[in-house]
Structure 1
Amino acid sequence: MLFKLQVDGIEHIPADGPAILASNHLSFSDSLFLPAGLERRVTFLAKSDYFTGRGLKGWLVAGFMRAVGQVPVDRSGGRASDAALTSGLKILRRGELLGIYPEGTRSPDGKLYRGRTGVARMALEAGVPVIPVAMIGTDKAQPTGQRLPKIMPITVRIGAPLDFSRYQGMEGDRFVLRSITDEIMYELLELSGQEYVDIYASAAKKRFGSVRAKTARVTELGASAQPETPQPKTSPTDPPAMPKAS
Structure 2
Amino acid sequence: MAVRRLIGKTYMKLLGFKAVGEIPTEAKVITLAVPHTTNWDLPNMLFYCFSTDQRISFMMKASVFRWPFGGFFRAMGGIPIDRSKKNDTVAQMVKAFEESDYLNVVIPPEGTRGRRDYWKTGFYYIALEANIPIVLGFLDYARKEVGYGPVLHPTGDIEKDFEKIAAYYKERGVQGKYPKNQSEIRPRPRD
Q: TM-score range by the shorter chain?
A: 0.5 to 0.7
Taking a change above 3 Å as real, the CA distance of residues 22 and 198 of structure 1, as seen in their structure-2 partners, is closer
Residues of 1 paired with 2:159 and 2:64: CA distance?
A: 29
Whichever residue aligns with residue 30 of structure 2, its letter is I
Instruction: After TM superposition, give the deviation of residue 70 of structure 1 in Å.
Output: 0.9
Query: Do structure 1's residue 102 and structure 2's residue 109 form an aligned pair?
Result: yes
Taking a change above 3 Å as real, the CA distance of residues 182 and 81 of structure 1, as seen in their structure-2 partners, is farther
Instruction: After TM superposition, give the deviation of residue 198 of structure 1 in Å.
Output: 6.8
Unaligned runs of 5+ residues in structure 2 are 1-9
Task: Provide the TM-score with structure 2 as the length reference.
Answer: 0.67
Q: Identify the residue that residue 118 of structure 2 maps to in structure 1.
A: 114
Residues of 2 paired with 1:27 and 1:114: CA distance?
A: 17
- CA deviation digits over 1:15-65, x for unaligned, max 9? 35222111122233322222332322011112334325xxxxx723x3332
Q: Identify the residue that residue 42 of structure 2 maps to in structure 1.
A: 31
Whichever residue aligns with residue 76 of structure 2, its letter is V
Instruction: After TM superposition, give the deviation of residue 189 of structure 1 in Å.
Output: 4.3
User: Which of 7, 21, 33 is the equivalent residue of 2:31?
Assistant: 21
Higher relative contact order (CA 8 A, sep 6+): 2
The structure with more radius of gyration? 1
Residues of 2 paired with 1:51 and 1:41: CA distance?
A: 19
Q: Residues 152-171 of structure 1: matches in 2 within 5 Å?
A: 154-164=144-154, 167=155, 170=156
Q: Percent identity?
A: 23
Q: Residues 71-82 of structure 1: matches in 2 within 5 Å?
A: 71-75=79-83, 78-82=86-90
Residues of 1 paired with 2:85 and 2:111: CA distance?
A: 11
SS of 2:53's partner is: coil
Give the conservation status (yes or no) of the 8 Å contact 1:21–1:133. yes
Q: Which runs of 4+ in 1 moved over 6 A?
A: 198-201
Instruction: After TM superposition, give the deviation of residue 133 of structure 1 in Å.
Output: 1.3
SS of 1:31's partner is: helix
Q: Identify the residue that residue 76 of structure 2 maps to in structure 1.
A: 68
Give the conservation status (yes or no) of the 8 Å contact 2:162–2:187. no
Whichever residue aligns with residue 73 of structure 1, its letter is I
SS of 2:72's partner is: helix
Q: Please give the root-mean-square deviation of Cα atoms over the aligned residues, in Å.
A: 3.4
Task: Provide the TM-score with structure 1 as the length reference.
Answer: 0.54
Whichever residue aligns with residue 45 of structure 2, its letter is L
- Larger fraction in strand: 2
Instruction: After TM superposition, give the deviation of residue 77 of structure 1 in Å.
Output: 7.0
Taking a change above 3 Å as real, the CA distance of residues 8 and 17 of structure 1, as seen in their structure-2 partners, is same
Whichever residue aligns with residue 59 of structure 1, its letter is P
Whichever residue aligns with residue 41 of structure 2, its letter is D
Q: Identify the residue that residue 3 of structure 1 maps to in structure 2.
A: 15
SS of 2:125's partner is: helix
Q: Residues 172-191 of structure 1: matches in 2 within 5 Å?
A: 176-181=157-162, 183-191=164-172
Whichever residue aligns with residue 107 of structure 2, its letter is I
Whichever residue aligns with residue 66 of structure 1, its letter is R
Residues of 2 paired with 1:161 and 1:44: CA distance?
A: 19
Unaligned runs of 5+ residues in structure 1 are 53-57, 139-152, 171-175, 202-246
- CA deviation digits over 1:54-83, x for unaligned, max 9? xxxx723x3332121111214467343344
Give the conservation status (yes or no) of the 8 Å contact 1:114–1:185. no
Give the conservation status (yes or no) of the 8 Å contact 2:28–2:97. no
Q: What is the number of residues matched between the two proteins?
A: 166
Taking a change above 3 Å as real, the CA distance of residues 59 and 184 of structure 1, as seen in their structure-2 partners, is farther
